[in-house]
Amino acid sequence: MSNLHKLLYLLLPTVILGDYCGEHKVPFGMEVHKNGNVNILCSRPNCHEKKYAECPERAMSSACTTNSSWVGGVTQHADGSLKLMCCEYDLLPIYSTVQYEKLQIRPGEYFEGDEQMDGDTVTAFDLIGDIQQVRDAASGNFTYNLLIYRYHCGKIPDSPPAWYMKKQWPYWTPVA
């Protein structure tokens, strides 16, 4: 490679695509376009309006491995590799059950989770707990295995968890 090619390679910007739900929404679906680009679909079910998750600033994880985390965002690099933003929510293992462990999505396909309703009230909804990226050896294309939780709204406390309150500024311990 000539010096000119090396210089051009260094100067070319790296293409990165990102998609984020943030701390107050949940990922209920994922779409993989035919060209391999990934999008996550976010929602704020009415039974989750006052709930709090702790999300990092960037998507830097290869997997969301704890039973108290969900995918709050994805970053897809030019080579197709995927990094996840794993949001922690302490109550997830208490109020959710595993719906699907390895739901496979291929290019040109999508997954959209279910919402169960009682009148106008959401009683349960699906969310993406983890995304495993797998490269097909024959074609070189990526497929994705999703971990899907069913979150049961039920008797969810209305107050934020203690860790969330301590992150707010200014914080002081209430006097009894």
If DSSP states are collapsed to H, E and C, what string results for 12-53? CCCCEEEEECCCCCEEEEEEECCCCCEEEEEECCHHHCCCCC
Q: What's the CA angle centered on 147, arms 145 and 152, to 5 degrees? A: 155
> Going by C-beta distance under 8 Å and a sequence separation of 6 or more, which residues neighbour residue 61?
83, 84, 85, 86
In single-letter form, the type of residue at position 159 comes to S
**pLDDT confidence of residue 80:** 86
What number is the average pLDDT over the span 37-64? 85
* CA atoms within 13 A of residue 42's CA, in its CB half-sphere: 14
* H/E element, 142: strand 142-152
Q: How confident is the model at residue 11 (pLDDT cuts 50, 70, 90)?
A: very low
Average pLDDT, the chain: 81
Q: How many Cβ atoms are within 10 Å of 83's Cβ, its own excluded?
A: 19
CA distances from 50 to 7, 30, 37, 114, 166 (A): 51, 24, 32, 21, 17
Range in 34-48, 129-143, 153-167 with the lowest mean pLDDT: 153-167
**Residue 157: pLDDT above 80?**
no
For residues 31 and 33, give the distance between their C-alpha atoms in angstroms, rounded to a whole number: 6
pTM: 0.78
* Residue matched to tokens 């500024």: 169
**Per-residue pLDDT tens digits for 73-121:** 999 988 888 999 999 988 889 889 999 999 999 999 999 999 888 888 8
**Residue 155: pLDDT above 80?**
no
